[in-house]
Chains A and B, each alone.
Chain A
Amino acid sequence: MRCEDVSRRLPDYTVGCVGFAARVRMRRHIAACAECRRQLDALNAVSRLVEALPVLEPPASMWDSVVNRIASRKVSVPAPYRLPVWRRAAVLGAAVAVAAAAILAGVRREEVPPGPVGFEAAYVRHHTEMTAADPLSDHVALGTLTLLASWSQPSSDHRH
């Protein structure tokens, strides 16, 4: 199973709307793929946030008042303007597309991990200094990285 297939079916997977065989295949893929696991975690986090919202119970008299208001409109108010079917479909489609794009943007946004610090920064500094000897290397970028890495090193290593 490819990452694209898993990514497309992840929302269904989180709510149990995937067949048994597909579920097993997705579970195997997610266990082996860090990127898909991250997407799943992000989706689960959103679900948990939604589930954490309090459930509001409407007052018992609400239904009666709604019915009364509808009945009174039928008598006194002319029928409200309704959009043609194709326009309603277009509006609904656009709303669904916007919601899907928002969800995908949230899910697919890459989390940038922090840069190397401490000993890691020291190794990066040695690597970038040596890489600068390659003719096609970007000397300005590598020099910048070397300086950033030297600022992130432990102070004992920073000054000899």
Chain B
Amino acid sequence: MRTLRWGFPAALALTVVAAVFLVQAWHSRKADPSAVEILFRAERAIQRTSYTAAVESVVENGTTKARSIAELRAAPGGRRRVRYTQGDLKGAVHGSDGSAVWRFDPKASRVLIGSQVCSGGDGLLLTGHRARLEREDVVAGRPAYVVSLSGYGEGRVRRRYFIDKETFIPLGTDEYSPTGRLVSRTRFLSVRFTPQDPKVFEAPQVSGVPVVGDAAAPTRCGSLEELSRRVGYKAVPPRYVPEGMRLVGYYYHLCPCCKRAAPVMRYSDRASSLTVFQCSPGCQNDAEWNDRAFWGGTLLRVQTRWGHYILVGDIPEAEMKKVAASLAR
């Protein structure tokens, strides 16, 4: 009798405790709402703010490491200019005036211009990511939120943003490889919020240096049918893309292997992106690599009945393989 009297409340208490744990576990699975809000504000702030910043960066790509200090100028409309003032890339400049991207590489002695690829959709999609507000820090003398992004099912931080608490401009970014190694670190050293002269975002005129169109750069197509017409064979997109990713657009580019027009399909959630390159059926891309890590992403080469595909993206490797499998079917 005594056991029964105490047994029921004990069982009830245990059930309540278990339920609380379950609810907490479910909530911790979801993104931190404050972190998502900070990222949304950052995305809006970038599109509305003009500033000039001195930026220090260390970027690792395989065994190559580049250390640089650059001047970054940014203005609304996706306009930006990065001029490397010190380090391994000293003298190089690249940017966008909102409609065309360009770069001047002193080693190549030319200014290359290509059309600007628009980003996908209207807003940041974080369906495939877990955002977490980790802490606060100080960058360039300014207090900043530190927000990390990790892919669902990975449990590993892929990117860490340092976002200005006042203006919501990212003052720094850390990028991690799929194996968790820090592959790039960018930090503002100083920043001034000043209006920009629109001319600074135009391709530079360097005396004695030709300005040429980037023939290999991707060109946008309105539809899959138009893309197939442009390249002269059937463009076949993947049947599977990771949750939360949207089609940014169909493009064709000059295939690096066979130098013929080839389809490019691009997907993005505006935090991560995936580019699917389809080689032409006769392309002799018989490279020996199948998958290769680069910076914070992966290259994957897959053979299908449509021909070779090359997938490049900073999405989890498992997701990349699912995309590849959907192409092979």
Which listed residue, A120, A139, A159, touches B287 by the CB 8 Å rule?
A120
Name the A residues within 8 Å of B132 (CB-CB). none
Minimum Cβ distance to chain A for residue B276 (Å): 10
CA distance A153 to B107 in the complex (A): 13
CA distance A120 to B43 in the complex (A): 30
Name the A residues within 8 Å of B82 (CB-CB). 139-140, 143
B68 within 8 A of A: yes
Minimum Cβ distance to chain A for residue B296 (Å): 9
Q: A113-B292, A146-B103, A147-B89 are contacts. A133–B117 as well, Cβ < 8 Å?
A: yes
Q: Tell me the B60-119 residues at the A interface (CB within 8 Å).
A: 60-64, 66, 68, 70, 72, 74, 78, 80, 82, 89, 92, 94, 96, 101, 103, 105, 107-108, 110, 114, 116-119
- Cβ-defined contact, A139 with B256, below 8 A: no
A157 within 8 A of B: yes
Interface with B: A47-55, A70-78, A123-131, which one? A123-131
- Cβ-defined contact, A139 with B216, below 8 A: no
Name the B residues within 8 Å of A144 (CB-CB). 57, 59, 66, 68, 89, 184
Minimum Cβ distance to chain B for residue A123 (Å): 5
Closest residue of chain A to B295, judged by CB?
A145
Closest residue of chain B to A118, judged by CB?
B287
When A and B form their complex, what is the total count of cross-chain residue pairs whose Cβ atoms lie within 8 Å?
166
Which listed residue, B184, B271, B297, touches A134 by the CB 8 Å rule?
B271
- Cβ-defined contact, B293 with A113, below 8 A: yes
CB 8 Å contact bits of B267-278 with A (1 = contact, 0 = none): 010110101010
Minimum Cβ distance to chain B for residue A124 (Å): 5
Q: A110-B179, A143-B103, A148-B59 are contacts. A133–B186 as well, Cβ < 8 Å?
A: no
- Cβ-defined contact, B256 with A134, below 8 A: no
Main secondary structure, interface of B, reads strand
- Cβ-defined contact, B170 with A126, below 8 A: no
Q: Tell me the B192-246 residues at the A interface (CB within 8 Å).
A: 212, 214-218
Which listed residue, A110, A127, A147, touches B103 by the CB 8 Å rule?
A147
Q: Give the size category of A's interface with B.
A: 35 or more
- Cβ-defined contact, B299 with A157, below 8 A: no
B42 within 8 A of A: yes
- Cβ-defined contact, B294 with A160, below 8 A: no
CB 8 Å contact bits of A91-129 with B (1 = contact, 0 = none): 000000000000000000010111110111011101101
Contacts A123-B277, A131-B273, A149-B61 known; 15 new A-B pairs at CB < 8 A: A119-B257, A119-B285, A120-B299, A126-B217, A127-B273, A130-B117, A133-B96, A134-B119, A135-B43, A135-B124, A139-B80, A141-B175, A141-B186, A141-B295, A148-B66
Chain B interface (Cβ < 8 Å from any Cβ of A): 39, 42-43, 46-47, 55, 57, 59-64, 66, 68, 70, 72, 74, 78, 80, 82, 89, 92, 94, 96, 101, 103, 105, 107-108, 110, 114, 116-119, 124, 161, 170, 173, 175, 179, 181, 184, 186, 212, 214-218, 248, 253, 256-257, 264, 266, 268, 270-271, 273, 275, 277, 285, 287, 289, 292-295, 297, 299, 310, 312-314
Chain A interface (Cβ < 8 Å from any Cβ of B): 35, 110, 112-116, 118-120, 122-124, 126-127, 129-136, 138-141, 143-151, 153-154, 157-160
